[in-house]
Amino acid sequence: MRRAALCLLAALAAFAAEDPGGWTKAKWGMTDDQLLAAFPEQAVRLDPPEQNGARVAIRSIDLAGAKFDVYFIPSDAGLRKVVLTAQHQPATSLDFLFQTVQNLLVDKYGRPWRSDESAATSLQWSFPTTTIVFDRMRVSGFGTQFLSLIYTRKSPSPTSDNL
């Protein structure tokens, strides 16, 4: 029995998705200049910064056949969050877009670690240094939906030696 459990754990580890450590070429801790160099044809410096604190952004990328804006949000220690927001889409096409992006995320990272469904749908993947959250919010009465994909650097956790 123990041997079967160890084999199962080894098989699951082999299929586990790798921690992205950021988003594509943007890695946790990068400076604004490093982000601009990593995306030379796409990234722009924001002056003034966005309300969310982003000082660097990509104004339009293609993801699953739709346009998204990308915001790189720093902390004192460099890049800590990447937020992708869907540009204006007809409300009827956002359900299809949500499903398409969800499928791409599941193909890349496996099934979500957590999933909540209500007026807002939230899917979450958790890795050692990264949390990925894919959200869809519906605004009833207006027929409007918002999609966002957020990659966040996890804060270092206390070591078990201190427990």
When comparing pLDDT for 136 and 150, which is higher?
150
CA–CA separation, 129 and 28 (whole Å): 9
3-state SS, residue 72: strand
Token pair of 7, please?
A: 């084999």
Domains (range + CATH), the chain: 29-156 (3.40.1000)
Judged by phi (left if over 0) then psi (alpha if -120 to 50, else beta), residue 53 lies in: left
Q: What is the pLDDT of residues 72-86, one digit of tens each?
A: 999 999 999 999 999
Tens-place pLDDT, residues 96-130: 898 999 999 999 999 988 777 766 889 999 999 99
DSSP 3-state helix, strand, coil percentages of the chain (rounded to 5)?
25, 40, 35
pTM strictly above 0.85 = no
pLDDT of residue 91: 66
Give whole-number Cα distances, 134 to 11, 93, 104, 145, in Å. Answer: 27, 17, 11, 13
